Structure 1
Amino acid sequence: MAEARIGISGWRYRPWRGVFYPKGLRQADELAYAAERVTSIELNGSFYSLQRPASWQRWRDATPEGFVFAVKGPRFITHIKRLGDIDAPLANFFASGVLELGAKLGPILWQLPPTLPFDGDLLDAFLGRLPRSRADAAAVASRHDERMSGRSSFSVAADAPLRHAVEVRHPSFESGDWIALLERHGVASVTADTAGRYPRLDRTTADFAYARLHGEEELYASGYDDASLDRWAAWVVAHLDAGRDVYAYFDNDVKVRAPFDAMALIARLPRPGG
């Protein structure tokens, strides 16, 4: 049965303390608190730097059984290398401990920069390099370079498919060629709500759907009213009815709207088995 995972992009934000997080809650307990109120979280620290195996283990152990993380791929690959010459960086990423999440590892999110236009050959090569299972990811990780010596972890207790989703921000991706490329590789096109700043490609290209809600009227700041949440609930239910899992994350964190909007969307969805 298809499942919906609704949550937030990151959880460690100073303005949330005393608003979403109760006053006096230890910072070390914030992940556990958030994980009791949403059904998934995007790990975005991995976008900025390689994490250590102990961190992945700590995040795994702080969340309840059945919880799922999406993981944001490194900007070193997407923004600095711009998808070229990435064999070593990709191996280092998967060797950093991502697989320590075990059954809690959900999709890998790749966010492309707004300055990167569509290039079919480049993107075909990139999508073709992405591992499609945990065992494949471990094989990729085994080719890490010397920077990961002594800080790598990539064993797999149980193999399972590994999903990928791509969020684009250059208008040249609004083309059938990009959609066809995603379909051929079985990679999801992220439906991104960015207050009109970047393309919104609401297309189904994989066996799951992925949405990022950055703000309806003001990027990263504005919240979602009841009517908007009703529309997003209908979007989620339509995918569920079609047999597709759904992952949706609120990234409108500036004014502490993300966790409350996520909980409000969860409340609008049918309960599993209901």
Structure 2
Amino acid sequence: MGDILVGTCSWTDRELVGSGWYPRGRRDAEGRLRHYAERFPVVEVDASYYALPGERNSRLWAERTPDGFVFDVKAFSLLTGHPTRGAVMPDGLPADSRDPAVLDEVWARFRAGIAPLREAGRLGSVLFQFPPWLRPGPRAEEFLAQCAERTRGWPVAVEFRHPAWWLDERAEHTRALLAGYGMAAVAVDMNRSLPSSIPPVTPVTSPRLSVVRFHGRSTAWGTGSKEDRFRHAYDDAELVEWVPRLWSLAERVEEVHVLFNNCCGDAAVRGAEAMQRLLGQSPALAEGVTPSVNKRLDG
């Protein structure tokens, strides 16, 4: 039976910082991370999608968290085919993913930025969240093959945003494709009534890892402001339906990462706390102690 690690998709989100979840005396950069890591064993680094991660920050993150804590790092936008602002490109490089020299340099910078986490054994995965316009087909598969070559030896998780990847007639091919590269498939929970909704499937494509991301169930997914898209507070009834699925995943992989991305106020951390409770886990409140990751009592 693998471990189930529950956390959120950021510990620095402005809405979370402003919600009051962090106590007085723990609201600086170091204090926030230490406070978070006392309660959860995993976190997703969302900022690395918007700007390349730096070696110094990665080293500090490893130093400020207890043994066993891991970071899932979101791939930089240029590497997943998303639009990228020129202002965040290193050394004034153009935000041009078609220029091989630019891509080589950005990949090298990203690799160097996460190296301290890899060296410390704190890199849980690198999340490649592909854009909704990446439809299944030969060009998309070639892009995926290029990413696989660039990330050989890394723990990689893949989230497709176009629903066709996981529709019945395509799902087995997608599963086999990711399994061939050793990439972990990302399952999602979201509003299921929209044309862009991803089916709530839980394919296993890597024996090491499965990832489940809870986006919230807002009907504004894909439209409106960030607050509109992610404004959702999970209740127990919505979460409990996932509990047997998570146990089933844990029976087939070494580790399951359960990450709440409903980043509006403190909704993500409250959802993660509720999921820990439903799984029979309890956070450790002592300084420097990794939260317990309990196994199912009958497992």
Give the TM-score normalised by structure 2: 0.74
Aligned to 1:103, the other structure's residue is in SS state coil
| Residues 233-258 of structure 1, C-alpha deviations (whole Å, 9 max, x = no match) | 22221112234410111010113210
Specify whether residues 261 and 99 from structure 1 end up closer, same or farther in structure 2 by C-alpha distance, changes over 3 A only.
Answer: same
Which of residues 117, 122, 132 is equivalent to 1:114? 132
Aligned to 1:237: 247
Q: Which moved more, 1:112-121 or 1:31-40?
A: 112-121
Map 1:4-43 → 2, pairs under 5 A: 4-16=4-16, 17-23=18-24, 25-28=26-29, 29-43=31-45
Contact 2:190–2:216 (CA under 8 A) maintained in structure 1 = yes
- Shift of residue 272, structure 1, vs aligned partner: 3.3
Contact 2:19–2:266 (CA under 8 A) maintained in structure 1 = no
Aligned to 1:165: 157
Aligned to 1:60, the other structure's residue is in SS state helix
Map 1:98-137 → 2, pairs under 5 A: 98-101=114-117, 102-118=120-136, 119-132=140-153
Write the distance in 2 (CA, Å) between the matches of 1:72 and 1:18. 24
Q: Is the counterpart of residue 263 in structure 1 residue 273 in structure 2?
A: yes
What letter is aligned with 1:117? R
What letter is aligned with 1:107? S
What letter is aligned with 1:198? S
Contact 1:117–1:173 (CA under 8 A) maintained in structure 2 = yes
Write the distance in 1 (CA, Å) between the matches of 2:141 and 2:98. 12
Write the distance in 1 (CA, Å) between the matches of 2:2 and 2:163. 31
Aligned to 1:48: 50
Contact 2:204–2:249 (CA under 8 A) maintained in structure 1 = no
What letter is aligned with 1:12? T
Specify whether residues 54 and 126 from structure 1 end up closer, same or farther in structure 2 by C-alpha distance, changes over 3 A only.
Answer: closer
Contact 2:218–2:230 (CA under 8 A) maintained in structure 1 = no
Q: Is the counterpart of residue 194 in structure 1 residue 193 in structure 2?
A: no
Structure of higher RCO (CA pairs closer than 8 Å, 6+ residues apart): 2
State the superposition RMSD in angstroms.
2.2
Aligned to 1:178: 174
- Shift of residue 63, structure 1, vs aligned partner: 1.1
Specify whether residues 172 and 83 from structure 1 end up closer, same or farther in structure 2 by C-alpha distance, changes over 3 A only.
Answer: farther
Matched residue count: 244
Q: Is the counterpart of residue 222 in structure 1 residue 232 in structure 2?
A: yes
Contact 1:193–1:212 (CA under 8 A) maintained in structure 2 = yes
Q: Give % identity.
A: 30
What letter is aligned with 1:128? E
What letter is aligned with 1:75? S
What letter is aligned with 1:250? F
